[in-house]
Chains A and B, each alone.
Chain A
Amino acid sequence: MHTDTTISPARAHSRAGGTTASSRRRFLTLKRRDSIAGYVFIAPQLAGIIAFVLIPLVLVVYYSFQKWNVLSGTIEPAGAANYQKLLSDPQMPTVLGLTAIFSVGLVLFNIPLALLLAVLLNRRGKGITFFRTAFFSPVVVAIVAWTIVWQFLLQDNGGVNALLKIFGIQGPNWLESGPTAMAAVIVVQVFKNVGLNMVLFLAGLQGVPREVQEAARVDGASSRTVFGRITLPLISPTILLTVIITIVGSLQVFAQIAVLTKGGPGISTTVLVYYLFQQAFQFHNFGYGSTLAILLFVIVLILTVIQWQMRKRWVFYEA
């Protein structure tokens, strides 16, 4: 209790006004009672984090050093065997490559589209409100429902190919070949969530002072120059933040892949999260599954640290 003896100006004032020793003692007990209230208030949340995040996190490290088959119920210390398996797993390079393709593809499609939508919608009007609602609406549709509809639309004789057929194009069987399946998973995910990034960009764009843009226009800058030299740099913190959130989010995409492709055809859409799920809950290998979980954790951690560093260095100003 000794750490917290700083006196706020108001309290210092009342003390200077001649507080008696007894009321000071009461003040201290009040303060102590307040600290207890603080602990009581955070207790449920703290207990939850300890029980459902921190302890599991320690356990997952421990599990990753075990040879553990859930079906036969055998657990034995395995040293670094799971980590050696990780390094020599013939599927691992493919899985990591696919994860990278998925994340990069997602960012490359999502961010420019979100920015384009935000720029187009950064004005007033009834129609504009309608389109904002339209682009945001998939965000609130349950992910599995959204994915099922797309799975239905992307079949060989589904809606997408029917649409292409009207224009005389014979569409591929999207979900049955590797590259198109990966493209489909990315596109379905982007349409689902790009509305969120659009809203973040809209907020960023509305934070750009109009006077600065108008001053540049008066000085003879074209609207393209104004966008490239003024607007874009000013919303760079938002862009950066959005890129990292999108990458970290992309590493956790499970439902879409589980429903749309089940990681296939072959393993052509098996990203790290899905591989983890397969190893742990389909092949019942909790040890190796835990090792993959740690790999996922490390990647997310690195990305988060990069985000903090970049925030310090690159960003022109914090919104």
Chain B
Amino acid sequence: MKRDVARRRWLRALLYVVLSIIAIPFLFPTWWMITSSFKTVNQIFAFPPSLIPLTPSMDAYVKAFTFQPFAQQYFNSMYIAVVVTIITMLISAMAGYAFARIRFPGQNILFVVVLIGLLIPSEVTIVPLFQMFNNLGLINTHWPLILVTSFGAPSVLATFIMRQFFIALPGELEEAGRLDGLGRFGIWWRVAMPLARSALAAVAIFTFLNAWNLYLEPTVYLSTPELFTLPEALTHFVDPYSGPMWNVQLAAATMTAVPVLIVFIIAQRQFVEGLAQTGVKG
């Protein structure tokens, strides 16, 4: 019996050793990104490398804001992601609710039409979308990013998730709302939406992250640094003569990644559940 306990303890310790080794490539890059951003270029490439910055310097952070309009770019990313998230939450909650709870002719066919959005990679439609916005004179503006991301293919998954949620909602609650004299809109907004917090949180999380991380679309639509969003801005910290400015680039990357990481650590469960939903996609 005692030997069994000892053996189990050993196995547990072994498990943690194995997990720690596997964890290195998952954690080390983030650690290295943060610590290197406080080093000078010479310290970054010192051998043996130091795991913590011995003489922390904020130079890279200062330079990140002077080399590019980084504050503006940060604001761009932030407001685009927020606007896209709010619009997506609204339209997906509306459409999801209608597909789940309202009976109307042609409903199933229209749902299939919407689901086509899940099938089509954004790379497939990028050329005609570019041309469409070009004809409208909206290239090198934020409009294509906001409109396509909020209303186009990326919002379909949100609609699908909201529909799955509203289908499971008990009908009595709506009936009660109706008896209180609420119309469809009132039932949706006053009864269904407050109950849908968890689904809405999931939608908000993956929509925000998707918008925050978007790279192909900004690369295609935007050409002025003042209009860039963060992912594209990160790739432009390059000195024309001496190549990438590593510490500055890593400082900018840290400012892009760390706030999201902190929110993730606080609201872990919601993040994991929300992002696991994106697996429903296939």
Seen from chain A, the residues whose Cβ lies within 8 Å of a Cβ on chain B are 1, 3-4, 33-39, 41-42, 44-57, 59-60, 63, 117, 120-121, 127, 131, 133-146, 148-150, 152-153, 157, 159, 162, 165-166, 187, 191, 195-197, 199-200, 203, 241-242, 244-245, 248, 251-252, 254-255, 258-259, 273, 276-277, 280-281, 286, 289-290, 293-294, 296-297, 300-301, 304, 307
Please, how many angstroms separate the alpha-carbon atoms of A136 and B159 in the complex?
Answer: 25
Once A142-B260, A148-B250, A149-B30 are accepted as A-B contacts, the answer to whether A37 and B124 lie under 8 Å apart by CB is no
Measured between beta carbons, the chain A residues less than 8 angstroms from B26 are 134-135, 137-138, 191, 195
Contacting A at CB under 8 A, from B11-35, are 15-16, 18-19, 22-23, 25-30, 32-33
Q: A4-B105, A41-B102, A49-B156 are in contact. List 18 more A-B contacts (CB 8 A).
A: A38-B104, A48-B91, A48-B147, A52-B147, A52-B152, A54-B113, A134-B26, A140-B260, A142-B257, A142-B260, A145-B256, A157-B45, A196-B275, A248-B282, A252-B123, A255-B216, A280-B127, A301-B119
Closest chain A residue to B232, Cβ basis? A144
- Contact partner of A46 (CB less than 8 A), chosen from B23, B103, B110, B250, is B110
> Closest CB-CB distance, A201 to chain B, in whole Å?
10
Determine whether B198 belongs to the interface, using a CB cutoff of 8 Å to chain A: no
Dominant SS among interface residues on chain A: helix
Number of A-B contacts (CB under 8 A): 288
Once A54-B116, A244-B282, A304-B282 are accepted as A-B contacts, the answer to whether A277 and B123 lie under 8 Å apart by CB is yes
- Contact partner of A42 (CB less than 8 A), chosen from B36, B95, B105, B184, is B95
Please, how many angstroms separate the alpha-carbon atoms of A117 and B268 in the complex?
Answer: 18
- How many chain-B residues does the 8 Å CB contact rule pick out? 97
Once A48-B151, A258-B215 are accepted as A-B contacts, the answer to whether A35 and B103 lie under 8 Å apart by CB is yes
Q: Establish whether residues A48 and B105, one from each chain, have CB atoms under 8 Å apart when the complex forms.
A: no
Determine whether B176 belongs to the interface, using a CB cutoff of 8 Å to chain A: no
Contacting A at CB under 8 A, from B239-282, are 244, 246, 249-250, 253-254, 256-257, 260-261, 264-265, 268, 271-272, 275-276, 278-279, 281-282
